Structure 1
Amino acid sequence: MDEFKINYLYPEYGKKEQKHEYKSIKKMISKVLNISEDSIDSIELVGGMTNKNFKVFMNNEYYILRIPGNGANKIISRHDEKYNSLIVNDLALDTDILYFNEKTGIKIAKYINNAQTINPETAKKKENMIETTNLLRTLHKSKLKFCNKFNVFNKIEEYEKILKQSNGNNFKDYSLVKHQVLELKKILENLGEESVPCHNDAVPENFVKSDDKLYLVDWEYSGMNDPMWDLAAHCLECDFSNNEEELFLSLYFNKEVEPRYKTKMLIYKICQDFLWSMWTNIKEANGDDFGTYGEYRYNRAKININKILELN
């Protein structure tokens, strides 16, 4: 990082290294918030797939510190994320941001107390589906204008360039599959596309319950997009069965789901698997190891492409 030197040493490397890392983080927090290091009582690593997240207790309150992971700032526009995150506060969908550095991607926000993170299993409960669809509908029906557009076909070209710059590798039949994915654009245009504020990373873990309120966190990929992208993402990441997906969509629309929406769902699932497989390759080119995660998503995209071809 340009402004603050953070040692990316994972706790499993030993208590000595962990202590050194936490000391660096403490110093950084003290500087950016202009507070005494003594007011920072504890720092705890709480994980994260794209980033390293820390639970920080200071001035008698808990906060969450986000430090971008390997290659994350190559993929994400921190300017767009900051702008969108701040205007989302008008809808009270997320917690307040205390500090956000566009240059480094470091963010400090209020911690959600009594938090219960939704997971693929709890997401299948009807009461959670109701809360999730209500929240997404509130976002999609709002008059908010995010400062950017999330266009998956543009993102594919963008990720391809980043992967090349990172000296990463694509899958063997990438060119063929990419061509098939890009052909889906014509089908989407015929089905009709909308442009509303979207989260674009509606994995269950980004939905957090606290008492009687549901929050949607981590707006890194947010932008104007078709609302079906968010619905497809949640269904895909939660591994909903056909019946569960039917219920989820009926709760969102409050009526019977039109066939065209189901086609759009499948297309967006393909696009997401393809794009996030590229994301995985970029992350691995920058030092991470996701095992077979990227390959699994890539192969699932190919299976669903065949389903679309059968329909058309």
Structure 2
Amino acid sequence: MAVPQVLDRIPLLSGVPRTVEELPGGLTNHNYKVVTPDGAYVARVWASDGAMLAIDRDAEHANSIAAAAAGVGAPVHAYLPELGVLVVGFLPGRTFTEADLRDPANLPRVAEACRRLHGGPRFVRDFDMFDVQQRYLEIVQSRGFRLPAKYLEFMPVVAQIRKCLEVRYEGTVPCNNDLLPGNILDDGERLWLIDYEYSGNNDPCFELGNIWSESDLPLGHLEELVTAYYGRRLRNKIARARLLGLMSKYGWTLWASIQDGANESIDFDFWSWGMEKYERAVAEFTGPELTSLMDEAARTD
């Protein structure tokens, strides 16, 4: 169905003058800014149902409402799963870039936004990258999608990492789990976090490690981000975030493999995107610090 026809079936956006502008970004949605006399909105139209990628659209809707209640997400105005559309308020502001995350002055602001989200209402599902990675691997193998060279050789190390993280486990909080720079908005006073496709209750150190990993930030930035989040420097939390950042790279590599094999509707080189992550993961798996990081994560600070 064409976008104008979809918008005509949304009561909030139909029967009134409107302008429609496609927004950049988005690998599993097409996003449109829709302006009417009553306000500005973003219509998120699904590129697929997302089930193969561990996206639960009903959970995305519910968690978006929770994030708005926490004061960090856009207000939710409409959800029409039969049309594959979620409508949220348009948040005025500037989209972050990797350069913004590389500016140390922004790290306390990012930490504060994460704390607001993490302190808000619980989400309706959990997200654990160890479980998601296993699910992705089953899909890749069962469907014959491409698997990076030597990928399976690191699975025993992954099991060791998971075991060491259980020692200092402190529960989960509502996390976005996909804070690419494009999912952080700056209105000049505060930061907002958008896009809750992969949201779920998770270890807060995954959120922090994933931010570091996704933007390939310097290690010192991760240390500053974790310290700003917890209010003091905790070596075990920094190590925990580094290990979960490694799992982020290792798991999202398979997300790219699935997209490379199954998604024909978006013109994007998913394989190269995933291999860049995988190569950085391999460097960490085979680097000299991995054992000491696991020891550090399991210790009291």
Answer yes or no: is the 8 Å Cα contact 1:26–1:40 preserved in 2: no
Aligned residue for 2:198, secondary structure, equals coil
In the alignment, structure 1 residue 57 sits paired with structure 2 residue 35: yes
- Closer, same or farther in 2 for the Cα pair 1:156/1:27, shift >3 Å? same
**Aligned to 1:89, which of 47, 68, 84?**
68
Q: Which runs of 4+ in 1 moved over 6 A?
A: none
Deviation readout 1:254-300 (Å, 9 max, x if unpaired)? 21x22211221221011100111000011111225325211111121
C-alpha separation in 1, matches of 2:41 and 2:13: 14
Answer yes or no: is the 8 Å Cα contact 1:82–1:102 preserved in 2: no
Which one-letter code corresponds to 1:204 in the other structure? P
- Closer, same or farther in 2 for the Cα pair 1:65/1:309, shift >3 Å? same
- Closer, same or farther in 2 for the Cα pair 1:127/1:266, shift >3 Å? closer
Match of 2:22 in 1: 44
Aligned residue for 1:65, secondary structure, equals strand
Answer yes or no: is the 8 Å Cα contact 1:146–1:224 preserved in 2: yes
**Aligned to 1:232, which of 209, 217, 242?**
209
C-alpha separation in 1, matches of 2:155 and 2:15: 50
In the alignment, structure 1 residue 74 sits paired with structure 2 residue 52: yes
C-alpha separation in 2, matches of 1:267 and 1:235: 11
Aligned residue for 1:32, secondary structure, equals coil
Answer yes or no: is the 8 Å Cα contact 1:72–1:283 preserved in 2: no
Once the two structures are TM-superposed, the CA of residue 34 in structure 1 deviates from its matched residue by 6.2
**Paired residue total:** 287
- Closer, same or farther in 2 for the Cα pair 1:270/1:57, shift >3 Å? same
1:109-128 correspondence to structure 2 within 5 Å: 109-113=88-92, 115-128=93-106
Once the two structures are TM-superposed, the CA of residue 228 in structure 1 deviates from its matched residue by 0.4
In the alignment, structure 1 residue 156 sits paired with structure 2 residue 125: no
Answer yes or no: is the 8 Å Cα contact 1:194–1:226 preserved in 2: yes
- Closer, same or farther in 2 for the Cα pair 1:126/1:298, shift >3 Å? closer
Gapped runs of 5+ residues in structure 1? 6-23
- Closer, same or farther in 2 for the Cα pair 1:109/1:285, shift >3 Å? same
Once the two structures are TM-superposed, the CA of residue 243 in structure 1 deviates from its matched residue by 2.8
C-alpha separation in 2, matches of 1:179 and 1:271: 13
Match of 1:12 in 2: none
Gapped runs of 5+ residues in structure 2? 296-301
Q: Compute the TM-score of the two structures, normalised by the length of structure 2.
A: 0.86
C-alpha separation in 1, matches of 2:273 and 2:251: 13
Q: Compute the TM-score of the two structures, normalised by the length of structure 1.
A: 0.84
Match of 1:271 in 2: 247
Once the two structures are TM-superposed, the CA of residue 35 in structure 1 deviates from its matched residue by 5.0
In the alignment, structure 1 residue 297 sits paired with structure 2 residue 280: no
